[in-house]
């Protein structure tokens, strides 16, 4: 077995999920995640954790949803499992990233509504979501399987302690600052972050960070404060559609004008979801330099070093002052822009990153 | 997909497990059982059952057990899952039937002891155990994959209603009878079944039968009543060892002499487990004529038409009068003998099967 699989399992169990002896752990095993599941079982056994492995198959799910009459009910036995669990480790590994493409969206939505309590129970555990490389993910990224596998482990097998320390500098600057300005081609955007708290997303539940890989610092802009224009030059998939070169114009926080070279209809449909969908919910700064290219997967793309992403829609509670709701919406859609050249991020007028180099780095 | 997979799923869900709308079902998916899991999900969705799929991987289990220090504790979250479940469907499908061969037996035993409550919770549900054909099972049977697949579906896709009716005749004869005599080469064995109840094992929870395929009628002989000798000419695997041509001699129910052409040491070790291991716990009569050969798998072998099997060790509660304990032992080991030629089964002196033909069949 590729020894990086064991290293991945160690990072997941030790750094990310902080598993201890006696923890009741659910391991959700994707269709192609067998080898990682074996390595994770080894790491969990070594720590004396108690393990249930579930089978998270898109094809099984599809068959179930298509056969069902749509009147779903909450599975009490599944709820009991997650309510009693300390941690859930999601080992994503699709063998076909479009395996559920022919499930009617009403069916997915009806199922999603019936499972709210289940999702909440899972989110109350120390959960971590990660990915085991599969040929389907390689294909989605436009890469060979070998190349993609290297890419995944470069992103995951970081010195997370060191990266967490570096990201702490960014969090400190954001927490101390009042206004962020982002400048690059077709982009000059300002927003207030007054009173908001940045999250050091260091791929560990100890940092309120639930993705492996992670490697971003994010906060929630004050909804009505966003002014100016922004251009997202990283292609992405939104609602199943390819969306390219999105340009947004904000006034008093609201998107008042938008365009895209591809997927403009999908973009329009997202912005029309509800009022909050036209306001920003997140500013994220990608700091994982192990991720060196875009692979059409938000889990990786938004963490890439020298990028920032903005999400229209819902803000994360962790960024908001106690008792404040922040931007509310049914959606949260991230869009990414490359900051590696001819660009800068300013906090209260001071440049914190220029052309992809942070203030604390050599060559700034 | 082979349409027999869907038929198998239908038999499992409809005939065997009797799943109804709203039932909370756990589907335990073996490593090679993906296709059957998809078909079962379809059948469960159609009935409006609620489903959790678990991943039953021998390799994951092995990694966990080998890494653990051996001080196992009951997983509370897993217990909560099974306590809240109505049914558990085990889809066995090993990719290597010896995948756990290098786990020390003390480790397996320690794990088994810690999981008693979990096993009991599972056994209190309407559980059914079945098999999806894999290359590993074909290999264990000494067959090609195609041939083995045909074999499995011939055994499973029966007219179960019809077979249940036929088996009811055997149950009736056993329940009304007092003494059974089995006669063939090197075999003349008598035993009392007075007061014991036969189980019509028709592959359905409605018949207290939890295996698919099934197709046997079994009862528990009165422990101390067994007299004579019996020869088991069907090779089998006991405790991982090949055992051939076992010959047992009984006096007052106890095995007083034994021999085997192969595996005599393993046989001795089984008989020495405890006192009950030297007494019979089961007499079973195989009646599934869809099973036409031995495949080195007890799930199939003991159900084969025109065979009987006797188990040393523990008796099943279902065969015993209320309040009676029957034969007690830590083991229950089935051994099989072919009854297709030069043989007969008598109940109270009346022949019920001769040379593989039952009393109610043509040519008797």
B223 plus B107 within the same structural domain: no
Nearest CA distance, B85 vs chain A (angstrom): 5
The pLDDT tens digits along chain B (364 residues) read: 899 999 999 999 999 999 999 999 999 999 999 999 999 999 999 999 999 999 999 999 999 999 999 999 999 999 999 999 999 999 999 999 999 989 998 998 899 999 999 999 999 999 999 999 999 999 999 999 999 999 999 999 999 999 999 999 999 999 999 999 999 999 999 999 999 999 999 999 999 999 999 999 999 999 999 999 999 999 988 877 889 999 999 999 999 999 999 999 999 999 999 999 999 999 999 999 999 999 988 889 999 999 999 999 999 999 999 989 899 998 999 999 999 999 999 999 999 999 999 999 999 9
Using the Cβ of B83 and the Cβ atoms of chain A, whether some distance falls under 8 Å is answered with yes
Q: Is A108 on the interface with B (CB under 8 A)?
A: no
Q: How far apart are CA A49 and CA A19, in angstroms?
A: 7
The answer to whether the beta carbons of residues A298 and A239 sit under 8 Å apart is: no
Distance, in Å, from the CA atom of B294 to the CA atom of B298, rounded to the nearest integer, reads 9
- A319 and A354 inside one domain: yes
Whether residue A343 contacts residue A230, with contact meaning beta carbons closer than 8 Å, is answered with no
Q: What is the CATH number of the domain that holds A128?
A: 3.40.1830.10
Q: By the CB < 8 Å criterion, does A70 face chain B?
A: no
Which chain B residues in 194-213 lie under 8 Å from chain A, judged by CB atoms? none
Interface touch A61/B41, C-beta < 8 Å: yes
Residues B72/B74/B76/B82 CA torsion (nearest 10 deg): 130
Domain boundary among B122, B156, B190: B156
Structure-token match 């220029």, residue found: A354
pLDDT, residue B239, reads 74
**Which stretches does DSSP call E strand in A164-262?**
179-184, 187-192, 199-201, 211-212, 216-219, 227-232, 236-238, 241-243, 246-251, 254-259
Which of B55, B79, B83 faces A29 most closely, judged by CB atoms? B55
Interface contact flag, A53 B50, Cβ < 8 Å: no
- Whether residue A55 and residue B51 make contact (CB cut-off 8 A), yes or no, is no
Q: Which of A14, A21, A25, A45 to mutate to test the interface with B (most CBs of B within 10 A)?
A: A45
Domain boundaries, position B204 = 160-358
What's the complex ipTM?
0.90
Let me know whether B125 and B43 are in one domain.
yes
Distance between CA A121 and CA A86 in Å, rounded?
Answer: 10
Task: For residue B31, list chain A residues with Cβ-Cβ distance below 8 A.
Answer: 34
- The per-residue pLDDT for range A221-278, each reduced to its tens digit, is 999 999 999 999 998 888 778 899 999 999 999 999 999 999 999 999 999 999 999 9
Residues A100 and A135 in one domain: yes
Q: Do B101 and A108 form a contact (C-beta atoms < 8 A)?
A: no
Shortest alpha-carbon distance between residue A22 and chain B (Å): 8
Cβ-based neighbours of B71, under 8 Å, separated by 6 or more: A48, B110
Residue B108 DSSP code: H
Inter-chain CB proximity A50 and B75 less than 8 Å: yes
A82 shares its domain with A222: no
Asked if A34 reaches chain B (Cβ–Cβ under 8 Å), the answer is yes
Q: Are residues A152 and A165 in the same domain?
A: no
CB contact under 8 A, B80 and A81: yes
Q: Are B60 and A53 an interchain contact pair (Cβ–Cβ within 8 Å)? A: yes
Query: Any CB–CB contact under 8 A between A24 and chain B?
Result: yes
Tally of CA atoms within 13 A in the half-sphere of B307 that contains its CB: 29
Residue B363 lies in a domain: no
d(CA A309, CA A234): 10
Q: Of B156, B191, B207, which marks where a domain is finished?
A: B156
Tell me if A363 is assigned to some domain. no
Cα distances (Å, whole numbers) of residue B132 to A50, B91, B106, B144: 28, 6, 30, 15
For residues A191 and A222, the answer to whether their CB atoms sit within 8 Å is yes
CA angle A12, B108, A36 (to 5 degrees): 25
Q: Hey, is the C-beta of B34 within 8 angstroms of any chain A C-beta? A: yes
Does B269 share its domain with B350? yes
Using the 3D structure, point to which of A156, A180, A211 is the last residue of a domain. A156
Number of domains within chain A: 2
Pairing, β B126-131 against β B211-212: parallel
Which of A63, A93, A95 best tests the B interface by mutation, with the highest count of B CBs <10 A?
A63
Q: Which two tokens stand for residue B46?
A: 């159609």
C-alpha A61/C-alpha A333 separation (Å) is 24
What is the pTM for the complete model shown? 0.92
Nearest C-alpha neighbor of A59 from the set A107, A92, A99: A99
Q: Are residues B248 and B101 in the same domain?
A: no
pLDDT at B240: 74
In total, the C-beta contacts within 8 angstroms joining chain A to chain B are 152
Is A325 within a domain?
Answer: yes
Residue B312 lies in a domain: yes
Cβ contacts of B75 on chain A, cutoff 8 Å: 24, 50-52
Q: Where are the beta strands (DSSP E) in A1-159?
A: 24-30, 50-56, 87-92, 126-131
B81–A63 C-beta distance less than 8 A: no
Give dist(CA B229, CA B183) in Å, integer.
9
Q: How many C-beta atoms lie closer than 10 Å to residue B102's C-beta? A: 8
Under an 8 A CB cutoff, do A67 and B77 touch?
Answer: no
């Amino acid at each position: 077995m590729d020894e990086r699989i064991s290293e991945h399992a160690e990072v997941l169990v030790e750094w990310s999920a902080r598993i201890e002896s006696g923890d009741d752990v659910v391991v959700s095993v994707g269709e192609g995640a067998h080898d990682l599941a074996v390595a994770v079982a080894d790491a969990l056994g070594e720590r004396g954790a108690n393990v249930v492995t579930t089978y998270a198959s898109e094809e099984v799910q599809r068959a179930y949803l298509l056969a069902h009459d749509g009147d779903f009910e909450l599975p009490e036995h599944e709820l009991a499992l997650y309510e009693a669990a300390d941690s859930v480790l999601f080992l994503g590994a699709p063998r076909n990233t479009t395996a559920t493409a022919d499930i009617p969206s009403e069916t997915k939505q009806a199922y999603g509504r019936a499972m709210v309590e289940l999702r909440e129970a899972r989110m109350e555990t120390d959960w971590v979501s990660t990915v085991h490389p599969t040929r389907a993910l390689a294909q989605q990224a436009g890469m060979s399987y070998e190349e993609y596998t290297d890419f995944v482990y470069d992103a995951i097998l970081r010195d997370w302690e060191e990266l967490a320390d570096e990201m702490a500098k960014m969090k400190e600057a954001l927490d101390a600052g009042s206004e962020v300005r982002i400048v690059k081609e077709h982009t000059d955007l300002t927003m207030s972050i007054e009173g908001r708290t940045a999250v050091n997303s260091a791929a560990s539940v100890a940092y309120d960070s639930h993705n492996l890989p992670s490697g971003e610092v994010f906060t929630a802009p004050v909804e009505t404060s966003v002014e100016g224009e922004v251009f997202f030059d990283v292609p992405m998939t939104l609602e199943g559609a390819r969306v390219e070169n999105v340009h947004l114009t904000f006034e008093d926080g609201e998107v008042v004008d938008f365009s895209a070279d591809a997927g403009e209809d999908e973009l329009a449909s997202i912005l029309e979801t509800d009022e909050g969908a036209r306001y920003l919910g997140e500013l994220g700064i990608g700091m994982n330099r192990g991720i060196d290219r875009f692979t059409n997967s938000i889990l990786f793309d938004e963490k890439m070093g020298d990028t920032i992403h903005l999400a229209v829609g819902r803000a994360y509670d962790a960024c908001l002052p106690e008792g404040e709701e922040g931007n509310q919406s049914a959606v949260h859609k991230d869009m990414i822009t490359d900051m590696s050249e001819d660009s800068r991020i300013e906090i209260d007028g001071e440049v914190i990153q220029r052309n992809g180099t942070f203030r604390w780095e050599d060559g700034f």
